[in-house]
Amino acid sequence: MDNWFGSLKDDLCRYIGQTVTIFTTSGGCSGSGFTGVLVSVSECSIRLLVSAGQAPACAIGSSCSGYSNNYYNNCYNSNPLGAIAVIPTNSIAAFTHNAI
């Protein structure tokens, strides 16, 4: 692995849990960057939470019991995890973060 990534990895690791924008060397929409919460950094890739999942419609489990069975099933049929972007480290051109 090139020495430049060791330095970049150290910088990226400082921002885990914070919102960053990662610009890649690819073209099209992906060349415009990916913005999300930095979840993890490894030698091969980074992971960004780019879309958080919805909060539960029935935050207190027993509060759903009064609804029809069809509504209760729909409470949990959406994607609860959101979306993660996995970006290969060899495709990273730059990243931005808040100054604080």
Q: What is the pLDDT of residues 44-97, one digit of tens each?
A: 899 999 887 776 666 665 555 554 544 445 444 555 667 889 999 888 988 898
Domains in the chain: ranges and CATH = 3-53+84-97 (2.30.30.100)
6-10 long-range Cβ contacts below 8 angstroms, 24+ apart: 8/89, 8/92, 8/95, 9/41, 9/43, 9/89
Confirm if 75 and 64 have CB atoms less than 8 A apart.
yes
For the stretch 6-44, pLDDT in tens is 688 888 999 999 999 999 988 777 667 899 999 999 988
> Could you report the per-residue pLDDT of 34-52, keeping only the tens digit for each?
999 999 999 889 999 988 7
Contact partners, residue 66, CB within 8 Å, separation at least 6: none
**Helix/strand/coil for 82:** coil
Question: DSSP 3-state assignment of 67?
Answer: coil
